[in-house]
Amino acid sequence: MQLCLQNLLLLLCFSCFICTFSALNSDGVTLLSLLSHWKTVPSSISSSWKASDSTPCSWVGVGCDSSNNVLFLNLSGSGISGEIGHEISSLIHLKTIDLSLNSFSGNIPSEISNCSVLENLELSGNKLTGEIPSSLKNLKKLQLFSLFDNLLSGEVSESFFQLPNLQYVFLNNNNLSGSIPDSVGNMSKVLLLYLRANQLSGEIPSSIGNCLKLQELSLEENHLTGALPESLGNLQDLIYLNVRTNRFVGNIPSELGNLNNLDFLDLSFNNLSGEIPPSLGNCSSLSQFAALQNKLVGNIPSSFGQLSKLEVFNFPQNQLSGKIPPELGNCKSLKMLQLFSNQLEGEIPSELGKLTNLQDLQLQENRLTGEIPVSIWKIPSLQEILVYNNSLSGQIPLEVTELKQLQNISLFNNFFSGVIPQGLGINSSLIQLDFTNNSFSGKIPPNLCFGKKLKVLIFGINKLEGSIPSEVGSCTTLRRLILKENKLTGSLPEFAENPNLLFMNIADNSIRGEIPSGLANLTSIPSINLSSNKFTGNLSVLGNICSLKEVNVSNNDFSGSIPETLLNLVKSSPPSFAGNPKLCLTCPPSKSSTCTV
C-alpha cells in the first residue's frame, strides 16, 4: 500500500514535471494559431505540428536558433490555402518566410513589419490581393522581396524602394499600377528588379542609373512611357534589360553602348524612333538583341559586326533602310536573323554565308534585289529561309539538297527562275514550301515529302511542267496543296493516303484523265479546285466526299450527271461547274449528249 502511494506520488510528480517543461513555447503557440485558420493543410504538416512538443523546432518547414526562436518558416509548395494570418507578426526572430507556391489569399498582413529582422520574404505564386502594405518599409534588413504571381494591386510606395538592403525584388505578374517611384535609385544594392506584367505607367526614373549593382531589369508588359533614360548606360553590371511591350518613345540611348556585360536587350513593341545608335556595337556580351515593331529608321550599323556573341538579332517591322551590312557575317554565333518588314534594299551580302550557325533567316517584305548568294544556301544549320515579297531573282542552287535541317522555304512574290533542284527534300524534313508567283520551270521534285513532315506545298503561279509526282499523292502529312497556274500535265495521283489534306488547288494546268478513285479517301477535305484542266470522266468520286464545302471543276471535260450530294454546291456556285459541255444536272441516259449545267 505504502509502495503504491509512493508510486502514485512519483507518477504525479513526474507528470507535473512534464506539464511544466513540455509547454509549447510562444513561437510554437503562434504557429499553431496560424495553422488554425489555414483552410487546407497537408497532413505532413498537421501531423508534424504537435501541441504536445515543447518547441516547434523539429516541425516540418520550421527552423530555430539555439534558443528555440523560430528563424525560418518554409512551407513553399505545400498546398496550403487560407489567409496568412496577422499572428505571424509575433514571430519576431524570423529571418526567412517562404510561403511561395501555395494558395494563400487575402492581404499581406501589414503586421508582418514587426518581423523586423526579416531578410527574405517570399510569397510568390499565391492568390494574394490588396496593396503591398506600406508598413513593409520598416523591414530594414530585407534583402529578398518576392511577391510575383499574385493579384496585388495599388502603387509601389516611394518608401519601399528606400529599404537599404534590397537585392532581389520580384513584383512581376501582379496588377500594380502607378509609376515607378523615383526612390528606385535608392536601391544601391539591388541585383535583380522584376516589375514585368503589371499596369505600371509613367517614365522610368533616371535615378535608375544609381542602381549600380543592377544585373537584371525586367519592365516588359506595362504601360510605361517617355524615353529610355540615358542613365541606363551607367549600369555597368547589367546583363538583362527587357522593356518589351510598353509605350516608350524617343531614341535608343547611345549610352547603352557602355553596357559591356549586357547579354539580353529587348526593346520590342514600343514606339522607339530615330536611328539605331552605332555605339551598341560595343555591347560585346550581347547575345540576344530584339526591337520588333518600333519606328526605327536609317541603316543597320556596321558596328554590329563586332557582336561576336550575338545569337539572335531581330529588328523586323521597323522602317530600316539601306543595305544589310556585310559585317553581320562576322557575328559567327548568330542563329536567328530577322529583318523582315523594313525597307532594306540592295543585295543580300554573300558574307552572311559565314554565319555557319544560322538557323532562321527572315528577310521577307523588303526591297531586296539580286540573287540569294550561294554561300547562304550552303549554311548547313539553316532551318528556315523566308524572303517573300522582295524583288529577288536567280535560281535555287543544287547545294540546297545538302541542307539536312531545312524545314521552311518561302520565296513567294519574287522573280526566281530555273529548275527546282530535283533532290530537294532528300535526307531532310521539309515542313512548308511556298514558291508562289515566281518563274520556276521544270518538274516538281519528287522527294519533298521524304521526311514525312511536309504540311504545306505551294508552287502556284510558276511555269512548272510534267506530272504531279505520285510521292506528293502519298504524302500523308500534307494539309495544303496549291499548284495552280502552272503547265502541269499527266494524270492526278491517287491521294488515297492524305487524311490531313484540307485544301487542294490545281486549277489552270493541263492535267488529264479521270479523278482517281482514291480521292474519295480525303474524307475531311473542304475545298478542291480542279478548274481549267483537261479532266474527263464523271464526278462520282467527288460525290463521295461528304466534307466538301467548296469545289470547282469548271472548264474541264467532265461528263455524266452531277452526283446528288454535290447539288447544293451547284446551287450556291453554278460557275464552279460551268464549262463542261457533257456534264448535266440529271442526265437522262438517252439524251446524254445534249445536256449541260
Ligand X SMILES: *[C@@H]1O[C@H](CO)[C@@H](O)[C@H](O)[C@H]1NC(C)=O
Cβ atoms within 10 Å, residue 378: 15
By CB under 6 A, tell whether 422 contacts ligand X: no
What is the closest distance, in whole angstroms, from the C-beta atom of residue 576 to ligand X in the complex? 7
Give residue 2's identity as a one-letter amino acid code: Q
What is the closest distance, in whole angstroms, from the C-beta atom of residue 15 to ligand X in the complex? 34
3-state helix, strand, coil in the chain (%, to 5): 20, 25, 55
By CB under 6 A, tell whether 449 contacts ligand X: no
Cβ nearer to ligand X, comparing 220 with 263: 220
Residue with cell 541585383: 191
Cβ nearer to ligand X, comparing 269 with 577: 269
Cβ nearer to ligand X, comparing 47 with 199: 199
| Element at 471 (helix H, strand E) | helix 470-473
User: Rounded to the nearest 5°, which phi and psi values hold at 345?
Assistant: -135, 180
Cβ nearer to ligand X, comparing 296 with 587: 296
- Contact present, 290 and 267 (Cβ < 8 Å): yes
By CB under 6 A, tell whether 268 contacts ligand X: no
Please list every residue from 220 through 239 that binds ligand X, using CB under 6 A. none
What are the Cα distances from residue 550, in Å, to 198, 360, 492, 516, 533?
47, 36, 19, 19, 17
Exposure string over 284-309, b if 16+ CB within 10 A, otherwise e: ebbbbbbbbbbebbeebbebbbbbee
- Contact present, 397 and 353 (Cβ < 8 Å): no
What is the closest distance, in whole angstroms, from the C-beta atom of residue 584 to ligand X in the complex? 21
| Alpha-carbon gap, residue 448 to 465, rounded angstroms | 16
By CB under 6 A, tell whether 83 contacts ligand X: no
Contacts of 15 (CB under 8 A, 6+ apart): none
By CB under 6 A, tell whether 199 contacts ligand X: yes
Give residue 258's identity as a one-letter amino acid code: N
Of 25, 78, 413, 509, the one binding ligand X by CB under 6 A: 413
Nearest to 226 by CA among 209, 211, 205, 198: 205
What is the closest distance, in whole angstroms, from the C-beta atom of residue 127 to ligand X in the complex? 11
Residue with cell 533542284: 421
Of 286, 360, 435, 515, the one binding ligand X by CB under 6 A: 360
Strand partners, 394: 416
Cβ nearer to ligand X, comparing 234 with 303: 303
> Applying CB under 6 A, which part among 330-338, 408-416, 561-569, 584-592 lies near ligand X?
408-416
By CB under 6 A, tell whether 389 contacts ligand X: yes
- Contact present, 428 and 452 (Cβ < 8 Å): no
By CB under 6 A, tell whether 470 contacts ligand X: no
x-or-dash pattern for ligand X, window 90-129, by CB under 6 A?
A: x-----x-x------------x--x-----x-x-------
Cβ nearer to ligand X, comparing 485 with 587: 485
Please list every residue from 177 through 196 that binds ligand X, using CB under 6 A. 177, 183, 185-186
By CB under 6 A, tell whether 135 contacts ligand X: no
| Alpha-carbon gap, residue 482 to 235, rounded angstroms | 54
By CB under 6 A, tell whether 521 contacts ligand X: yes
Cβ nearer to ligand X, comparing 244 with 354: 244
By CB under 6 A, tell whether 305 contacts ligand X: no
How many residues sit in the footprint of ligand X (CB under 6 A)?
A: 60
By CB under 6 A, tell whether 514 contacts ligand X: no
x-or-dash pattern for ligand X, window 426-445, by CB under 6 A?
A: xx---xx----x--------
> Applying CB under 6 A, which part among 28-36, 40-48, 371-379, 400-408 lies near ligand X?
400-408
Cβ nearer to ligand X, comparing 195 with 587: 195
Give residue 303's identity as a one-letter amino acid code: S
Nearest to 381 by CA among 431, 328, 332: 332
- Contact present, 408 and 387 (Cβ < 8 Å): no
What is the closest distance, in whole angstroms, from the C-beta atom of residue 515 to ligand X in the complex? 13
What is the closest distance, in whole angstroms, from the C-beta atom of residue 170 to ligand X in the complex? 13
What is the closest distance, in whole angstroms, from the C-beta atom of residue 42 to ligand X in the complex? 14
Cell numbers found for residue 426: 532528300
- Contact present, 30 and 68 (Cβ < 8 Å): no
DSSP per-residue codes, 169-192: EE--SS--BSB--GGGGG-TT--E
What is the closest distance, in whole angstroms, from the C-beta atom of residue 554 to ligand X in the complex? 7
By CB under 6 A, tell whether 524 contacts ligand X: no
What is the closest distance, in whole angstroms, from the C-beta atom of residue 497 to ligand X in the complex? 5
Three-class DSSP labels, 247-295 = CCEECCCHHHHHCCCCCEEECCCCEEEEECCHHHHHCCCCCEEECCCCE
Of 74, 357, 417, 544, the one binding ligand X by CB under 6 A: 74
Please list every residue from 494 through 513 that binds ligand X, using CB under 6 A. 494, 496-497, 505, 507-508
By CB under 6 A, tell whether 595 contacts ligand X: no
Contacts of 5 (CB under 8 A, 6+ apart): none
By CB under 6 A, tell whether 398 contacts ligand X: no
- Contact present, 313 and 338 (Cβ < 8 Å): yes
- Contact present, 250 and 228 (Cβ < 8 Å): yes
| Alpha-carbon gap, residue 479 to 572, rounded angstroms | 25
Cβ nearer to ligand X, comparing 453 with 595: 453
- Contact present, 393 and 415 (Cβ < 8 Å): yes
Of 270, 287, 314, 509, the one binding ligand X by CB under 6 A: 270
**Which residues sit at the interface with ligand X, rule CB under 6 A?**
74, 76, 89-90, 96, 98, 111, 114, 120, 122, 151, 153, 162, 175, 177, 183, 185-186, 199, 207, 210, 247, 257, 269-271, 278-279, 281-282, 303, 360, 383-384, 389, 401, 407-408, 413-414, 423, 426-427, 431-432, 437, 484, 494, 496-497, 505, 507-508, 518, 521, 529, 531-532, 550, 552
